[in-house]
Amino acid sequence: MPGARRAAALAVSLLFAGCAGDHSTLDPAGPSARAVATLWWIMLGGSAVIFAATTAALVLAWTRPRIFGGDPSRPLVLWGGLILPSVILVALVFAAFALGERMIGRSGSTDLLRIEAEGRRWQWEFRYPGAGGLATIDTLHVPAGREIEFSVTSTDVIHSFWVPRLGGKIDAIPGHRNTIRLLADTPGRYGGVCAEFCGTGHTVMRFEVIAHAAEDYDAVLARLAAGEAPEEMPGDRP
Amino acid sequence: MSANPDMISPIKLHKELARLWDTPPGWGRFSAVNHTVLGKRFIIAAFVFFSIGGVLAMLIRAQLATSGSAFVGPEIYGQIFTMHGSIMMFLFAIPMFEGFAIYLLPKLLGARDMAFPRLTAFGFWCYIFGGSILIVAMLAGVAPDGGWFMYTPLNSGVYSPGINADVWLLGITFVEISALSAAVEIIVSVLKLRAPGMSIDRMPIMAWYLLITAFMMLFGFPPLILGSVLLELERAFDLPFFDPTRGGDSLLWQHLFWLFGHPEVYIIFLPAAGAISMMIPTFARHELVGYRTIIVAVIAVAFLSFGLWVHHMFTVGIPHLALSFFSAASGLVAIPTAIQIFAWIATIAHGRPRFDVPMLYLGGFFVVFIIGGLTGVMLAMVPFNFQAHDTHFVVAHMHYVLVGGFVFPMLAAAYYWLPHFTGRTSDHRLSVPAFWMIFGGFNLTFFLMHLTGLLGMPRRVETYPMEAKWDWLNLVSSIGGFIMAIGFALFVLDIVVQARFGMPARRNPWQARTLEWATATPPTSYGFASLPLIEDRADRLDPEKLGPALARGDGYLGFTRNGWMETLGVDMVTARPTEVVVLPRSTFLPLWTALAIGSFVLCLLFKFYWLSLLPVAVVVVLFLMWAAATGNREDTPPLDIGHGQSAEVHWQVERPPSWWAMTFTLAADGVVVTSLIFSALFLRVVAPDWPPATAAAAPTAALALAVIASIAAAAAGRFGVGRLKAGASPIAAQAACLLLHVVALAALAAGLAGIDDATRHAQAAMLAAVLGLAALHVAIGIIFAGFGLWRAANGYVSPRRSLDLRIGGLWHDATAVIVLVCVVSGVLLALAAGGEVW
Amino acid sequence: MRAHRSIDLPLVAAGFTIWSIGFVAVYGVLSLGCAAGWDTVPVLGPVTLQRAILVALSLGTAAATAAVTLLLARRRPAATGQGGPTDFLRIVAFYTAVAATASVLFTFSGVAVLSSCVP
Ligand SMILES: [Cu+2]
């Protein structure tokens, strides 16, 4: 059953992948984004059923009220208004709790790579602790297949760090340091944006994530720290 | 019903009442206080603002129609989307529902007007002047441009040095005065000004909806007003409440804003749901199913909606457990909403439904609102929200909820009550194509916009690259937007044509069973020539029979006396008549007062801070004139109200509408005080840079004196009332009350003077704010005490006429509590920050 | 002349008023606890001080709404027919309290397990 569902979700996402740009949450490239995309497809399907059922109830109430029995308020208000929505809601909320805990709760991983992201009007600066004071502007280099914890802050107004194909966003707030864990499955380039309105340059406050093969990553950082261009750049995403 | 004892002809009764209640012609129109007149003005003004907001929406869609658009630059675009949101929320939705409530409520309840007609007028002028400030600023090119939720530090002085943000903070707060006064007025009118016999279990369902909504406003608006005042203080005087470099926190703004902002959505939806609950029974030809269940559901929504605000802040870095409370509550609120929807469906299933234009628009409501509700539950789920937040998915969701939950029901309501407003029937010629254009255009604009968001398009970008592949989606949205705009134009045309040339309608054209259809259509200024006795639930009446009987003067108060405008006050629960409420005649005072407040706002806007004290003085004088215009120097014997019953005049009873109004105002005031203290606590716990290097100190001796003096002032006020009731003079006690307030004010001033530099750190600024709020209460206490003294000295009070002193007493009591709470919090704030306490 | 006084009208908000107080208390204490580091103070096995306090507060709120519901159940009229305004208000107050109790249980349902502070 989960396999079939995943296949269905995959089929639909492939449908969209064709028309999706570099920022599509429906074309996930990491576990966080994939989990949320799956949640989305399930919620979309459920919502379609609920919408169809409610609309059908309305139309039937108008045209064939007898099918609700002698006292229509019991099946409609009690079941339609209270019991069914409660059951669905409890299931959905608990599933979301479990997923949320995996995404933003405490991490079990001991192999976290830390990268600092600092938003300012209107660019992103990324710093790589342990890479000789390396800092890059508007380009973020990460290793593929390894979970990274981003420590995000701002020096002026509120921004929001978001790489849609990898996973959720986190706000960059002056005076606070927020964290988010992301992972890119494969080497490639992923679009990033500032999601929180931050003034006239908000629109152009984009950045690019380049995921390198894990075994090349240290070498890439070393070359960048030495001021050279990284020799080998992953091409456009497949 | 028994006959009117001194049977006069309905025509003569009408002329006598009209002479008293009608608004004067010519310039006198500006003195209107009548609910029918002002309700219509509110609705028309709100629709004008809606049109302005709609034009801005068209500009947004024009800009986003294609990638790389250069139609407007980012500076102008910021103003456009900020003004679109602000206008639709604050200048359209809330005032539109207020207008409906003001127009309909007295007619639904069987009263002749709202409880405080001058307050209605005052609220209207505050709304018009505040709204005008925003529109004029936009025309001058200095409209707010930091987004309609005004996040700091973007809208703080450093990053928005211009006047733009001040326009929002001052203009919107000015408009909020009308929202708060409407809230108090609606609560008191529903609870006190009902027809005799309309006990609380017989109220029309709309009255329940409005009552609960008004309570939400009473608790929802104060945090926003407080936040706006604090941010304006930061911008004007550099008090760093939200500045993270000096112990403030931008998250404080977000909490205060959304603590208002989420209930706001339900404040907009619930009155519309009330209107739906009125219309569906009429067209289903069956009374509302689950009257009691719906009331329980609406109470649940009202509370739960205050536990959702953080779902606008899921990505600000709050622990998952805390997010889970808000996530669960956000999902939970869908249940009472579903109960209402299925109660409406069940009403249709029970009845013999009949189709007409309002039902067509309600069909649009069902489809659009259900989709909005479903996407709302999706957004309540934390993991999904992390992706969808701040994208066009949210833009789509929000429009489904607000247009589905408010605009479609209001369009239905416009067609439903149009015959009541104009006395003309509506026909179907343009209303049906208008519906399909609005409905089709709306879904074309916003349905695929969910996908635009999921494909990664953030909100509030003025352009996007072609590679993002959002072009076709945005183009579809823009085309839909223009179709919807044409639909609205058709709607306006249709309404104007019908109002002007429609066939005259007979009474109660839809065969509704509620009281508003028992008035003449269009209604007379006084609504009911005599007030009905309600003997069944108020949605089971027969307006066709009731209307002529009331016009004949068969009900209560079917006469005039003393040139008074009278309506009945009843017991809140049983609706037994308890008092004759004498309402004020047309007056320019509300207009002058709103103008004076407007000049105060303009002084602040242009930074003439010293000059601003002048309009403040004028406002105080005008409010005193306002209060002085009522009352009596002699005791009034019990008054005949018809049906062989009599009642006291309202200023001679223990708890008339004005007493309740003061009580509810103080409840809202309590929310302000509580919010401020929680804000201080929040900064202490969450903000960076605490404790401050040099903390401001609290002079305990002076502050203790302030507490003692204000408690003594309250005691003196109470003692004075006791003296008065015992037949003695309250003057000495009132004078003592006044004097003690002066002492308290001086002591608080000394405390404030002890803060050497309130701009250094948020701790000092918060201390100043807490003590300043206490001082403000004491200063107003001085005015109340002085007014009481003047009333007592001039014979306006007697053992039976103690109301003036008792209303002042409520204020003195509240002030004593507030000063105590503020002083304790101030001392704790000094201690917690390591400051000296001496 | 004294206005008829009735506690029945405000009691329709009793259940959810407790929900509100509990909500503010639990959320407030959570923030305080994270600031004070209670999430690193073990109490019993894997249970931290933070967790213990939050669970206790949630259970306390649930108990309070349940108690109010029981009290209101006793005030509820025997028959649910046309009993006049007082009976009406008592029935509304009872069902609202039931809804509030359910709301407390659901709102705080994550309190025992989810991460209580940002790592
Ligand atoms: Cu930004």
Domain definitions of chain A by residue range: 23-104, 113-225
The SS3 of residue B149 is coil
pLDDT tens per residue across span A7-23? 554 444 444 444 445 88
Rounded to the nearest 10°, the torsion over CA B524, B527, B530, B531 is: 170
Encoded tokens for B33: 């206080």
Q: Which residues 127-166 of B are in CB contact (within 8 Å) with A?
A: 146-147, 151, 153-154, 159
Question: Is some CB atom of chain A closer than 8 A to the CB atom of B455?
Answer: yes
Which of B315, B346, B687 minimises the CB distance to A175? Answer: B687
| pLDDT on residue B521 | 87
Interatomic CA distance for residues B741 and B731, integer angstroms:
15
pLDDT at A2 over 70: no
For residue A105, pLDDT beyond 80 = no
SS3 category, B487: helix
| Cα of B152 from ligand 1 centre, angstroms | 13
Task: Name subunits touching B (3+ CB pairs < 8 A).
Answer: A, C
Query: Following CA atoms B315, B319, B321, B325 in sequence, which dihedral angle do they give, to the nearest 10 degrees?
Result: -50
Classify the phi-psi angles of B147: left when phi > 0, otherwise alpha if psi is within -120 to 50, otherwise beta.
left
DSSP code at position B458: B
The CATH classification number of A113-225 equals 2.60.40.420
Three-state SS at B288: coil
Cα separation of A175 and A172, whole Å?
Answer: 9
pLDDT on residue B772: 96
Cβ–Cβ under 8 Å, residues B553 and B532: no
Q: Is the ipTM of this complex over 0.90?
A: yes
Residue among C3, C16, C19 whose CB faces B655 most closely: C3
Whether residue A238 is predicted with pLDDT greater than 50 in this model: the reply is: no
DSSP one-letter string for B676-720:
HHHHHHHHHHHSSS-S-SSPPPB-HHHHHHHHHHHHHHHHHHHHH
What was the pLDDT predicted at B337? 96
Please tell me if residue B287 touches chain A, with a CB cutoff of 8 Å: no
| Residues of chain A contacting residue C115, judged by C-beta atoms under 8 Å apart | 101, 104-106
Q: Which residues of chain B does C48 touch, with a Cβ-Cβ cutoff of 8 Å? A: none
Q: How many contacts, defined by CB atoms under 8 Å, are there between A and B?
A: 251
- Give the pLDDT band (50/70/90) at residue A236: very low
Residues of A in contact with B468 (CB under 8 A): 21-23, 191
Who among C106, C109, C114 is closest to A105 (CB)?
C114
Q: Give me the mean pLDDT over the A42-54 stretch.
A: 96
- For residue A178, the chain C residues in CB contact (below 8 A) are 118
pLDDT number for residue B4: 47
Contact assessment for residue A10 and residue A144, using Cβ atoms and an 8 Å cutoff: no
CA–CA distance, B613 with B619 (Å, rounded to integer): 10
Q: What is the pTM of this model?
A: 0.95
Residues A70 and A74: their CA atoms lie apart, in Å, by 9
Instruction: Tell me which amino acid residue B801 is.
Output: R
C35 interfaces chain A, CB cutoff of 8 Å: no
Cα–Cα dist B4/B1, whole Å = 9
pLDDT of residue B629: 82
**Distance of residue A15 Cα from the nearest chain C Cα, in angstroms:** 36
pLDDT for position C91: 92
Suggest the residue from C4, C9, C68 to mutate for an interface test with chain B (most B CBs closer than 10 A): C4
Q: Does C32 touch chain B (CB under 8 A)?
A: yes
Place A71 in a pLDDT band, splitting at 50, 70 and 90: confident
- Per 3-state DSSP, chain C is made up of helix, strand and coil in percentages (nearest 5) of 70, 5, 30
Determine the angle formed by the axes of helices B357-380 and B250-284, rounding to 10 degrees. 150
Domains of chain B with CATH codes: 659-832 (1.20.120.80)
Residue of A nearest to B316 (CA): A171
HEC string of chain A equals: CHHHHHHHHHHHHHHHHCCCCCCCCCCCCCHHHHHHHHHHHHHHHHHHHHHHHHHHHHHHHHHCHHHHCCCCHHHHHHHHHHHHHHHHHHHHHHHHHHHHHHHHCCCCCCCCEEEEEEEECCEEEEECCCCCCCEEECEEEEECCCCEEEEEEECCCCEEEEECCCEEEEEECECCCEEEEECCCCCEEEEEEECCCCCCCHHHCEEEEEEECHHHHHHHHHHHHCCCCCCCCCCCCC
Q: By C-alpha distance, which of B83, B86, B90, B93 is closest to B138?
A: B83
Encode pLDDT of B423-459 as tens digits. 988 777 789 999 999 999 999 999 999 999 999 999 9
Q: Which helix (H) or strand (E) holds B578?
A: strand B577-583
Cα Dmax for chain C: 64
Q: Roughly what angle, to the nearest 10 degrees, separates helices B320-332 and C14-36?
A: 160
Residues 6+ apart with CB under 8 A from B14: B524, B529, B551
Q: By C-alpha distance, which of A203, A198, A152, A209 is closest to A176?
A: A152
Q: A83, A196, A198, A208: best mutation site toward chain B, by most B Cβ within 10 Å?
A: A196
- Burial of A70 (C-beta count, 10 Å sphere; 0-12/13-18/19+): exposed
pLDDT, position B692: 87
Amino acid (1-letter code) at residue C81: G
Query: How many Cα atoms occupy the beta-carbon half-sphere of B237 within 13 Å?
Result: 17
Which residues of chain B fall below pLDDT 70?
1-7, 834-838
CA distances from B815 to A187, B371, B753, B821 (A): 66, 47, 21, 10
Residues 37-76 of B with CB under 8 A from A: 73-75
